[in-house]
Amino acid sequence: MTTLIWILGSTFAMSLIAWVGLITLFFNEKLLRKIILPLVALSAGALLGGAFLHMIPESITKMDNLLNVFLWLLFGFSLFFLLENFIHWHHCHETPSKHKKPVTYLILIADGIHNFIGGLAIAGAFIVDIKVGLVTWLACAAHEIPQELGDFGILIHGGWHKKKALLFNFLSALTIVLGGLIAFFISTKIDATFLLPFAAGNFIYIASSDLIPEIKHDTNIKNNLILFATFIIGILLILAVRFIEI
């Protein structure tokens, strides 16, 4: 299977996760919160595991200049910081609530940008190594599920009809395929290994700045232990992939 087919297949499969938002229609707010927060913890662990256990080590192996590895990592981290502060992109893992409709358009635009960068990250990983690409995809998928659940809920409660919300959320997610194609095209012209530490920086920022703060404020010890356990499971899941031969 060629690298391009891996990239097209994986990015399109990722965009299909946008349809998971449909299940928010069948859950009440209390149940949805119980589901979303452990998923957020799982995705935080998966993203950090992907960055530290696969992407950074592979970047060090593939890139001659160690300084360049960490410069690209910091650039990936800083770019997401820029997006969050100046483009007002954010991930939504809250349960659905009332939002004015203009905010829903902003969410679609911002998620389109985020998904495009995600496509660059996934494709960059597959270009370097198929196993690293699969790990990157798995970490991204774990992160996308709670995000899409929250985003779809906001669109519905912002006045969108459910069919239109599903369609536009999916169209926003398709930018991940565009990002993957552009990354592949870049790789045919220059060495695209730099996309790997760049993506690791994205993952570290999302996990540390966006996800972990959402799951550490619960005052219930039992809930905190459950969230920490799912966080560790996310890391172990990614670690286990290291022992799988592709």
If you average pLDDT over residues 129-157, what whole number do you get?
77
In angstroms, the CA 87 to CA 184 distance is: 26
Q: 207 lies in a domain?
A: yes
Indicate whether 76 belongs to any domain. Answer: yes
Angle between helix 101-128 and helix 130-157 axes, rounded to 10 deg: 170
Other beta carbons less than 10 A from residue 166's beta carbon: 18
Instruction: Encode pLDDT of 51-91 as tens digits.
Output: 898 889 988 988 889 999 999 999 989 988 887 776 555 55
Q: Count the domains in the chain.
A: 1
129 in a domain, yes or no?
A: yes
- What's the domain range around 47? 3-21+29-241
How many CA atoms within 13 Å lie on the side-chain side of 178? 11
Q: Does residue 23 have a pLDDT over 70?
A: yes
- Domain presence at residue 178: yes
The pLDDT-based confidence of 157 (bands split at 50, 70, 90) is: low
Residue 246 within any structural domain of the chain: no
Burial class (CB in 10 A: 0-12, 13-18, 19+), 85: exposed
Q: Pick 243 or 74 by higher pLDDT.
A: 74
Q: pLDDT category, 178, cuts 50, 70, 90?
A: very high
Mean pLDDT of the chain: 81
pLDDT at 56: 92
Which of 187, 136, 208 minimizes the C-alpha distance to 3?
Answer: 187
In a domain? residue 193: yes
On whether residue 162 sits in a domain, the answer given is yes
Q: Is the C-alpha dihedral spanning 6, 124, 242, 20 positive or negative?
A: negative
* pLDDT of 141 above 70: yes
Q: Band of the pLDDT at 33, cuts 50, 70, 90? A: low
Q: What is the pLDDT of residue 232?
A: 94
For residues 103-112, give the mean pLDDT.
70
Give, to the nearest 10 degrees, the angle between helix 101-128 and helix 162-173: 40
Instruction: Answer yes or no: is 105 within a domain.
Output: yes
